[in-house]
Structure 1
């Protein structure tokens, strides 16, 4: 069950008395692993019935998205500025607007 994990997980495993087998990913391998993690977290979010746990899955997705932005060369501040710019220009998704095409 090899997969990308949060940075502190190897230390947590060591503290439990086990020895983790790890490697550091870079470039395409890292992007592929983060892409897979994003899909995993989305599936966990979609299957979660407890609201608080579902929000935790959203937080996990947020961390993965931040890591992907960083790999693409964008710092958190840059990423958030882009998100804000898009929200200011086009709005957010707060109102539940569902577009069904044009007449």
Structure 2
């Protein structure tokens, strides 16, 4: 039996059970849950970075977004709150739409 020791989506045990397989799980405490969400975010980001087409990229971005929703809730905020902060930062500092690549800043 493979050992995974990782955070999975809520319905994964159902899927495994429907395949007729046995498994074991446990419910994480809050601190460990946040730690595992952070680890999962790197896993999903790495999967996104390694995509080769738009369809797969969108799938991985959706996974990242799910993690962001969960982390926002852990930190006592809604996704809407995170989105509002994003908008405020974009208003103040801009977004990334103009594709600006900073090469250097000379100190005088």
Quote the residue 1:78 is aligned against: 81
The normalised TM-score by structure 1 is: 0.88
Q: Give the gaps of 5 or more residues in structure 1.
A: none
> 1:52 offset after TM fit, Å?
0.8
The 4+ residue runs of structure 1 with deviation greater than 3 A are: none
Quote the residue 1:15 is aligned against: 18
The normalised TM-score by structure 2 is: 0.85
SS in 1 for 2:73: helix
Please say which structure displays the higher CA radius of gyration: 2
> 1:33 offset after TM fit, Å?
0.5
Match of 2:47 among 44, 47, 50: 44
Q: Deviations over 1:56-96 (max 9, x none)?
A: 11111111112111111111121111111111221111111
The CA distance in 2 between the partners of 1:84 and 1:20, in whole Å, is: 43
Count of residue pairs the alignment pairs up: 103
Q: Deviations over 1:19-52 (max 9, x none)?
A: 3311111222011101110110111111121221
Quote the residue 1:67 is aligned against: 70
